[in-house]
Amino acid sequence: MVSAVELIPNCYKRAPLAEDGVLRLRCAPLRMTRRSWLAFVAAIVLSLPGCKKPADTKVDRESKFDPNAPAEVVLPERGAYTGAFMDFGDAEDEVSLEMIEEFENLVGKHQAIIASSSYWGEQSFPTRNLNVIWRHGAMPLVFWSPWDRPYEQNHGPDKFSLNAIIDGTWDAYIDKWGDAAREFGKPMIVSFGNEMNGDWFPWSGWFYGANKLVESAPNRWEGPEHFKKAYRHVVDRVRARGAANIKWMFHTNNYSYPIDTWNAAAAYYPGPEYADWLGLSVYGQQFKDEPWANIPPLVDWPYEEMTRLDPKTPIMIAEWATGEFPRSGNKGDWVLEGLDLFRTRYPRVKAAVYWHERWQNQDQTYSNLRVNSSVESLDAYRKGVAHPDWLGNLILRSLKERR
């Protein structure tokens, strides 16, 4: 049986008291794709107890991995790395080896990339989390978000505003974070200010002048220019601290909201010297009232948009998932389609990170994006990720050999 504890999802209080004195909850994942015109309700499809941990699972773990050896991660010439975020708590930072291994046993594959978050409101560097991930033989992907508690979406900038970052208000914190990253010393990917082309995060260009033209550059817009300045400022300062082990990812939502020229990915792009990876969030249906969409319409144009930014930079599907709802599309087919097309139709995709999370909505129902939202969904994921072109172990190059 599924225990009572297992049925408790992540629910975040998103709204203060309204004028009428009623506390209204917005329960949602901290990093889901939000659009203002979508109804905020969902159906529940609870995970079946039988798909919790298959008895016949054998996970291929890298026996030759030496966590202490100086090394760099190499992009695969064929195939792509597989990875996941595993519902690491309210602030997405409660990383544990047990949760990682439970997911890997569930899907039957070691994960090459493990994602978690580091919010500026915590004012700390996630050394413990990164050590857990790296010693397990995976590369950490960190969503480093300039966001203050209570991490409330759909609200304007807080004390970690882009203007404050550009003005140097938080330089001491950035430097300290960079020092800690240098001391960690192992390969890691950092996504600073992800999904800036949507209006749900406080670092969105929507809050910084949006489509207002820059006086000195009539082909540029105030909103995206503020983000670019802040992004470059952060990267420059961290690099100045000697944190050469970081690969930086420019990470957008697949489609911009609002959809307009000023808000396109290219307007925010800081340049190839500031982006080692290009990232995309690709979510299917997350709520009951959203339309179903298959992988090609979700990825074809955004992938083309990314490839136009730079001809060589690798692309990561940095977040991808869909819910499972009655009288809707087939999640198993959707998952299989994604795992097939990411590695065949989109050749520059070199990694894909599944967003394995379930949350409660304001009507007390659930949106279940987890791979095991049903037996059929889990079977599809296990089948798709078992393909040898999905690499669960990192390809490493010794830095000693490189010298």
CATH number of the domain enclosing 341: 3.20.20.80
Cis peptide before 150 (omega within 30 of 0): yes
Q: What is the dihedral of CA 184, 109, 280, 228, to 10 degrees?
A: 0
Which residue is associated with the tokens 């800081």?
Answer: 270
Q: What rounded mean pLDDT belongs to the chain?
A: 86
Separation of alpha carbons 269 and 399, rounded Å: 30
Q: What is the mean pLDDT of residues 271-280?
A: 98
* CA-based nearest residue to 349, from 87, 118, 83: 83
Separation of alpha carbons 365 and 298, rounded Å: 26
Q: At what angle do helices 127-135 and 171-184 cross, to 10 degrees?
A: 30
Q: Which two tokens stand for residue 164?
A: 């404050």
- Model confidence at 8: pLDDT above 70: no
Separation of alpha carbons 73 and 5, rounded Å: 37
Which of 63-77, 172-186, 253-267 is the least confident region? Answer: 63-77
Quick: pLDDT tens for 187-222.
999 999 999 999 999 999 999 999 999 988 878 999
Which of 32-41, 355-364, 391-400 is the least confident region? Answer: 32-41
Which of 40-54, 96-110, 361-375 is the least confident region? Answer: 40-54
Q: Which two tokens stand for residue 346?
A: 């989109």
Q: What confidence score (pLDDT) does residue 47 get?
A: 35
69: left (phi over 0), alpha (psi -120 to 50) or beta: beta
Quick: pLDDT tens for 310-341.
999 999 999 999 999 988 999 999 999 999 99
Q: What is the mean pLDDT of residues 31-41?
A: 33
- The residues, ordered by sequence, that sit 6+ positions from 341 with a Cβ below 8 Å of its Cβ are 295, 296, 299
Q: What confidence score (pLDDT) does residue 208 get?
A: 97
Quick: pLDDT tens for 292-312.
999 999 999 999 999 999 999
pLDDT bucket at 61, cuts 50 / 70 / 90: low
Separation of alpha carbons 29 and 281, rounded Å: 14
pLDDT bucket at 25, cuts 50 / 70 / 90: very low
- Which one has a higher pLDDT value, 262 or 37? 262
Q: What confidence score (pLDDT) does residue 63 get?
A: 53
- The residues, ordered by sequence, that sit 6+ positions from 379 with a Cβ below 8 Å of its Cβ are 332
Q: Which two tokens stand for residue 269?
A: 């792009």
Contacts by 175-181 with C-beta closer than 8 Å and gap 24+? 175/237, 175/241, 176/125, 177/118, 177/125, 177/144, 177/238, 178/237, 178/238, 178/239, 178/240, 178/241, 178/242, 178/243, 179/241, 179/243, 180/125, 180/127, 181/125, 181/238, 181/241, 181/243, 181/245, 181/246
- For the entire predicted model, the pTM comes to 0.85
- Model confidence at 9: pLDDT above 50: no
Q: What is the mean pLDDT of residues 92-118?
A: 97
- Model confidence at 7: pLDDT above 50: no
Count the domains in the chain: 1
The strand pair at 277-283 and 213-214 is best described as: unpaired
Do residues 221 and 207 make contact, with C-beta atoms less than 8 angstroms apart?
Answer: no
pLDDT over 90 percentage in the chain: 74
Q: What is the mean pLDDT of residues 170-187?
A: 98
Q: What confidence score (pLDDT) does residue 62 get?
A: 59
Identify the bridge partners of residue 191 per DSSP, sorted by sequence position.
143, 249
Q: What is the domain range of residue 299?
A: 5-402
- Model confidence at 29: pLDDT above 90: no
Q: What is the mean pLDDT of residues 376-400?
A: 96
Q: Which two tokens stand for residue 257?
A: 């909201």
pLDDT bucket at 50, cuts 50 / 70 / 90: very low
Q: Which two tokens stand for residue 225?
A: 């220019």
Sequence letter at residue 107: V
Which of 102-111, 298-307, 356-365 is the least confident region? Answer: 356-365
Which of 48-62, 104-118, 386-400 is the least confident region? Answer: 48-62
Separation of alpha carbons 145 and 162, rounded Å: 11
Q: What is the mean pLDDT of residues 90-99?
A: 95
pLDDT bucket at 229, cuts 50 / 70 / 90: very high
Number of Cβ within 10 Å of residue 94's Cβ equals 13
